Amino acid sequence: MSTSRYIRANGIDIHFLHDGSGPPLVLLHGWPEFCVVWESVISALRDRFEIFAPDLRGFGDTTKPYAGPTEEMTSQVLADDLGAFLDAVAVNRPVGLVSHDVGAIVAQVFARRWPERLGGLFFFNCPHPGIGSRWIAPDHVPEVWYQTFNCLPCSAAMVGASRDTCRLYIGHILRHWAADEHAFDKDLERFVDNFMKPGNLQGGFNWYLGNRAARRAVWTGHIPDIPPIEIRTRVYWGEHDPVLKAEWMDRLPETFSNLHASVAEEVGHFVHYEAPQRAARAIAEFFEPGRAPV
């Protein structure tokens, strides 16, 4: 059973799940998620790795340092949090960094700033600059409306008006993005419980406010010309993800020079939740190639 812990880092109290022993592995969630989304993966890997699964700033039970909507919660700030977190838990050797969605953007920022702290990068369904204007292509705009909605000053109040409204919104996202619309049925009320905690809806929405300018730069092609990340990288992308399409893997080599990428068949946006055994096996094979799969 994973231990629920808190630690002070970068001026906030970071909540995280801790389990296992062995080489250090850090798991970073996306939106609309929090650390418990990794529970099944942790169970499968606890005999191989020491695992840390934090709630990102503004999410889960980690501090919500902003009283309301803010553009201060950027990927740079969350990368700072991760560096301070590793210092606080005294991880002094390179870590395996596994990430998804929001966490994947944070992981790329971290990798460019502190490559020496990483033993490898593993991504599920990875946003990357090469997606470019395809984010807002006419046939894809209906899939990314939530990014604009989450930036509205009234969005948290609307979604959080009651458990029913929260369940409708968060439940819709989870059902629509998973390949099986019933994938989250058993845990849906846990997600509602989480997002109905004070500050949790706005905490997640602040990610979209803080990264609004960065998203627009990707859409319009106004991003810096930076070299690819050289760290050994694995990408495992859900075949039926409607919002981060598997076909967008085509330009991953522009961002990662040492890359192995493949499609996770029959699952959607949440590979780590929809197919945790496959996800855990892929993680283990990447970070411990000499050992038999889980």
For residue 99, give the nearest of 127, 73, 130 by alpha carbon. 127
Report the predicted TM-score, pTM, of the whole model to 2 decimal places: 0.97
**208 noted as active-site residue:** yes
Residue identified by tokens 């966490």 is 103
Match 């700072």 to its residue by tokens. 80
Q: What pLDDT sits at residue 1?
A: 79
Which pair of tokens denotes residue 118? 């990483």
Domains of the chain: 3-287 (3.40.50.1820)
Q: Which of these is catalytic: 66, 169, 208, 273?
A: 208
Q: Which residue among the candidates 55, 61, 80, 101 is catalytic per the annotation? A: 101
Is residue 269 flagged as an active site residue? yes
Check: CB of residue 129 under 8 Å from CB of residue 255. yes
Per-residue model confidence (pLDDT) at position 121 = 98
E strand segments, the chain: 3-9, 12-20, 24-28, 50-54, 95-100, 118-124, 233-238, 259-264
Q: Determine which one of 128, 240, 269, 272 is catalytic.
A: 269
| CA dist 41 → 44, 52, 82, 276 (Å) | 5, 12, 20, 5
The pLDDT tens digits along the chain (294 residues) read: 799 999 999 999 999 999 999 999 999 999 999 999 999 999 999 999 999 999 999 999 999 999 999 999 999 999 999 999 999 999 989 999 999 999 999 999 999 999 999 999 999 999 999 999 999 999 999 999 999 999 999 999 999 999 999 999 999 999 999 999 999 999 999 999 999 999 999 999 999 999 999 999 999 999 888 999 999 999 999 999 999 999 999 999 999 999 999 999 999 999 999 999 999 999 999 998 777 567
Helix (H) or strand (E) holding 158: helix 155-159
Residue 128 CA to residue 121 CA, distance in Å, equals 14
146 carries an active-site annotation: no
pLDDT at 293: 67
